A and B are shown apart, each in its own frame.
Chain A
Amino acid sequence: MGEPIIRLVNVVKCYHENQVVKKLNLDIQQGEFLTLLGPSGCGKTTTLRMIAGFESVTEGQIYLEGNNVADLKPNQRDVNTVFQNYALFPHMTVEDNIAFGLVEKRVKKSEIKQRVAEMIKMVQLEGMEKRMPAQMSGGQKQRVAIARALINNPRVLLLDEPLGALDLKLRKQMQSELKHLQKRLGITFVFVTHDQEEALTMSDRIAVMNGGVLEQIGTPREIYNRPETKFVADFIGESNVLDAYVTEVSEGGIHVKMEFGDAVLKAGGFVEEEMVYLCVRPENLKMTKEAVPNFNIYGTVKEHIFIGSVCKTVVELASGLEVKMTSPQTDELYAVGTRVNIYWREDQGVILHTKEEQLYNLIENTVQIEGGMHEA
Chain B
Amino acid sequence: MDTKKLQKSEKAGFAPLSMLYACLVYLFLYLPIAVVIAFSFNTSKTNIIFEGFTFEWYAKMFDNRQLMESFQNTLIVAGVSTVFSLVLGTLCAVGLYKFEFKLKSLVSNSLYIPIAIPEIVFGIAMLVFFSSVHISTGMFTLIVSHITFSMPFVAITVRSRVAGFDRSIEEAAKDLGANEFRTFMRVTLPMIMPGVISGGMLALTMSLDDVVISFFTAGPDSTTLPLKILGMVKKGVSPDVNALSTLMILGTAVIMVISQIAQNRLEQRQGGNNSES
Please list the residues of chain A having a beta carbon within 8 angstroms of any beta carbon in chain B. Answer: 52, 54, 73-75, 79-81, 83, 85, 87-91, 100-101, 104-105, 132-135, 148-149, 152
Contact B178 A134 (CB under 8 A): no
Cβ of B27 to closest chain A Cβ, rounded Å: 41
**CB-nearest residue of chain B to A135:** B271
| Residue in contact with A87 in the complex, picked from B171, B178, B190, B272, CB distance below 8 Å | B171
Cβ of A64 to closest chain B Cβ, rounded Å: 14
Contact B168 A152 (CB under 8 A): no
Q: Using Cβ atoms and an 8 Å threshold, which residues of chain A touch B173?
A: 89, 100
Q: What total of chain B residues lie within 8 Å of the partner, measured CB to CB?
A: 26
Given contacts A54-B171, A74-B171, A87-B171, 10 further A-B contacts (CB under 8 A): A54-B174, A75-B176, A87-B168, A87-B169, A88-B172, A89-B186, A89-B191, A100-B186, A104-B177, A152-B177
Q: Using Cβ atoms and an 8 Å threshold, which residues of chain A touch B190?
A: 91
Q: Using Cβ atoms and an 8 Å threshold, which residues of chain B touch A83?
A: 168, 171-172
Q: Using Cβ atoms and an 8 Å threshold, which residues of chain A touch B9?
A: none
Cβ of B141 to closest chain A Cβ, rounded Å: 39
**Contact of A105 with B168 at beta-carbon distance under 8 Å, contacts A91-B190, A134-B272 already known:** no
Q: Using Cβ atoms and an 8 Å threshold, which residues of chain B touch A101?
A: 176-177
Cβ of B136 to closest chain A Cβ, rounded Å: 46
Q: Is B175 an interface residue (CB 8 A)?
A: yes
Q: Using Cβ atoms and an 8 Å threshold, which residues of chain A touch B182?
A: 104
Q: Is B179 an interface residue (CB 8 A)?
A: yes
Contact A134 B271 (CB under 8 A): yes
**Contact of A134 with B270 at beta-carbon distance under 8 Å, contacts A85-B166, A87-B168 already known:** yes
Q: Is B18 an interface residue (CB 8 A)?
A: no
Interface flags for B188-230 (1: CB within 8 Å of A; 0: not) read 0011010000000000000000000000000000000000000
| Residue in contact with B178 in the complex, picked from A75, A85, A88, CB distance below 8 Å | A75
Contact A134 B177 (CB under 8 A): no
**CB-nearest residue of chain B to A100:** B176
| Residue in contact with A80 in the complex, picked from B176, B191, B272, B276, CB distance below 8 Å | B176
Q: Using Cβ atoms and an 8 Å threshold, which residues of chain B touch A87?
A: 166, 168-169, 171-172
Q: Is B187 an interface residue (CB 8 A)?
A: yes
Most chain B CB inside 10 Å of its own CB: which residue of A87, A135, A149: A87
Q: Is B98 an interface residue (CB 8 A)?
A: no
A91 to B173, CA, bound (A): 13
| Residue in contact with A73 in the complex, picked from B172, B174, B266, B276, CB distance below 8 Å | B174
Q: Is B234 an interface residue (CB 8 A)?
A: no
What DSSP secondary structure best describes chain B's contact surface?
helix
A85 to B167, CA, bound (A): 11
Q: Is B277 an interface residue (CB 8 A)?
A: yes
**CB-nearest residue of chain B to A98:** B176
Most chain A CB inside 10 Å of its own CB: which residue of B182, B193, B273: B273
| Residue in contact with B177 in the complex, picked from A89, A90, A91, A105, CB distance below 8 Å | A105
Contact B277 A85 (CB under 8 A): yes
**CB-nearest residue of chain B to A151:** B176
A105 to B177, CA, bound (A): 7
Q: Is B65 an interface residue (CB 8 A)?
A: no
A133 to B166, CA, bound (A): 15
Q: Is B269 an interface residue (CB 8 A)?
A: yes
**CB-nearest residue of chain A to B177:** A104
Interface flags for B120-156 (1: CB within 8 Å of A; 0: not) read 0000000000000000000000000000000000000
Closest A-B pairs by Cβ, 9 of them: A134-B271, A90-B273, A101-B176, A104-B177, A87-B168, A87-B172, A90-B270, A74-B174, A91-B190
Contact B174 A91 (CB under 8 A): no
Contact B273 A80 (CB under 8 A): no
Contact A91 B168 (CB under 8 A): no
Cβ of B188 to closest chain A Cβ, rounded Å: 10
Most chain A CB inside 10 Å of its own CB: which residue of B168, B176, B190, B269: B176
Contact A75 B276 (CB under 8 A): no
Contact B271 A75 (CB under 8 A): no
Cβ of B18 to closest chain A Cβ, rounded Å: 36
A74 to B180, CA, bound (A): 10
| Residue in contact with B269 in the complex, picked from A52, A75, A91, CB distance below 8 Å | A91
Contact B270 A75 (CB under 8 A): no
A105 to B169, CA, bound (A): 19
Contact B174 A134 (CB under 8 A): no
Cβ of B123 to closest chain A Cβ, rounded Å: 40
Cβ of A164 to closest chain B Cβ, rounded Å: 13
A105 to B179, CA, bound (A): 11
**Contact of A132 with B270 at beta-carbon distance under 8 Å, contacts A80-B175, A152-B177 already known:** yes
A100 to B174, CA, bound (A): 10
Q: Using Cβ atoms and an 8 Å threshold, which residues of chain A touch B169?
A: 87-90
A74 to B277, CA, bound (A): 22
* 19 intermolecular pairs with C-beta atoms under 8 Å apart: A73-B174, A80-B176, A83-B168, A87-B172, A88-B169, A89-B172, A90-B270, A90-B273, A91-B187, A91-B190, A91-B270, A100-B173, A100-B178, A100-B186, A134-B270, A134-B273, A148-B172, A148-B176, A152-B176
